[in-house]
Structures are given as structure tokens and as C-alpha cells.
Structure 1
Amino acid sequence: MAKELKLLVFNIGEQFFAGDIMEIERILPYETPTKLPDSPEFLEGVINYEGNILPIISLVRRFNVQATSNSDKKRHSIIVTRYNDKAVGIIVDAVNEVKSIVEEMIEDAPEISSSISKRYIKGLVKAEDKIIILLQLSNVLSDEEKESI
């Protein structure tokens, strides 16, 4: 019997991404992070999350993808993901849906993608008229980047 996965589908610009729902702790409405001096380019800043400091990263900057032309941050969301005992927030343009798929629907990313992207891209899912890039959210940042923030 095929293993079923539940994915949280979100978009950044015109591109669709997804993460395993089991990697996601919470979805927060967007709030402007406090900028930190001398931080990596992809680190938007930090917010107060349940009494703790939560680093907020921008996938637009991390993946070097085109942002939406609409700079209205009110519709953006922050996806909170946890790795080991640390949490990180990821800014997305919009959360679309929770989608159920079977593992067989996941196709390997093309060989032309770099070894870095293979660290955090689990594969591609064809859905209706779009391709969804399935991410391993806990691996979006390298171990060195996790330590630096």
C-alpha cells in the first residue's frame, strides 16, 4: 500500500512549493521582523514567538526566486518549522492548501539542479496545471547557516 503524505502548499511569487505537514509547527500571520546587524542576506530578522526569539528567513533571498510584484505584506504568512530543538520562521507569499498525495507522485528533480538544492528539494509533484517543488524544510539551511542564526 502506498504511503500517503500531507503537504502544505504555498507560493513564492509565481512558484509553488510544499513541505511535509509533519515538519510544520504553526502558520503565523506576517509581522515585520526586527532586523539584526551583520546577519546573512536571507535572514529577515527575528520576532517574538511564544516568549522566544524566532529567526525569520526569506525564501525569496535564500532561493534567489522572483518575488511577487505586489509588495503587500498583509497577505504574507510565516511558516514555523522545527529542526532538533530549534525553530525557524519562513516567509511565504501565501499558504494555498493542504494536499494529500501518495509517495509515488513525487518525481526526482532534474539532474541539472545543484547538489546544494538537492539537500533541500525532495522532489517535484505534478498537480493540475502546476508543478510543486517539495522541500525538506529542515534542510533549507545548512548546518553552518543554522548555527550562524
Structure 2
Amino acid sequence: MAPIALAVLATLLPALAQAKSSDRNQPMTLDSDNSDCNQSNPDSRCVFSGNVEIIQGTLEIRAGRAEVMQRGGDIDQVVLTGKQATMKQQMDDGTTMNARADRIVYEPKKELLTLTGSYQVESPRGSNSGQKMVYNMASGQMQSGGDGTRVRTVIQPRAATPAKAGGN
């Protein structure tokens, strides 16, 4: 289970923002104080807890707990929790993207990434923060707010963002 869980966790950030594509081909390490996996059937669960740290290439994930659920032998959901769970990764253009939230849920079959609880996503292009954001990785659609809380988006002027690799 651990190699499958790690592979899924590695896809969290690349889907969110054109992350360093070579990271997917790098070895991954997962460190935690405890792990508890049940693989007795195709509907299983693996929990990593206590100072969870996942590193693959430039991708760094830190959380108090990482829970991976499988249905029918396929990854159904990955839940990262903590005060706060964080993700950091270098982009293909050399810039860095940071995200944090109290709870990060990845649903690969639905291609959804949900950040809840004082989330914040930051990159040189700008930032977005609030209480809940749902990101559809297939369409690129991002939805924030709508629950009575405020959302703050900051968009940097084009001149303030670094040039993409290769010109432009």
C-alpha cells in the first residue's frame, strides 16, 4: 500500500498548478511517527500519523496525518490534516507554489482537490485564501466561498511575475 499511497500523494500538487513535471519520476520518501495499514481487502485504508513528511523531487508535503482510502483496489481519497497541512513545490518555470489548509482532500476519480479551514494558496502570480476552495483538475475551475465567508484573491500585475522559462 505505501508505494501506491505515495504515488497518489505525489499527484496532489502537480494537478493544482503546473508543478515541476520531472518530480513525478523522482523517488519519494514518507516519514511519520506511525503508520497503520489494512490491506485485507480491496477496500482498505492506510494512515500515517505524527509529523508526516512526504518528499518527492521538489514536492514537500507536511501534515499531522495522511489517510489514504482505496475502493476496489484503486485510490478513492487522500486526506491530509493538521494545523496546518502544507504543500510546497517548484514549478516548471522555476517559481515556487505554496498551499496550506487545515484539511486537504484529494479525490482522484472525481479529479477534485478541496482545501478547507483557513486555506491559502500562494505563487508569484498571486494568492487566494478563504475557508473553502474546490479545484477541478480536469477543467481548471476553482470555486471559493459561497458559504457566507469571505474569499481574498490577489492577482499580481504581469510585470511583477517572473518570465516563463524560454522567454515570453
TM-score range, shorter chain: under 0.3
Bigger proportion of residues as strand: 2
TM-score, normalisation: structure 2: 0.25
TM-score, normalisation: structure 1: 0.26
Kindly indicate whether structure 1 or structure 2 has the higher relative contact order, using CA contacts under 8 Å at least 6 residues apart: 1
Bigger proportion of residues as helix: 1
Name which one, 1 or 2, has greater alpha-carbon Rg.
2
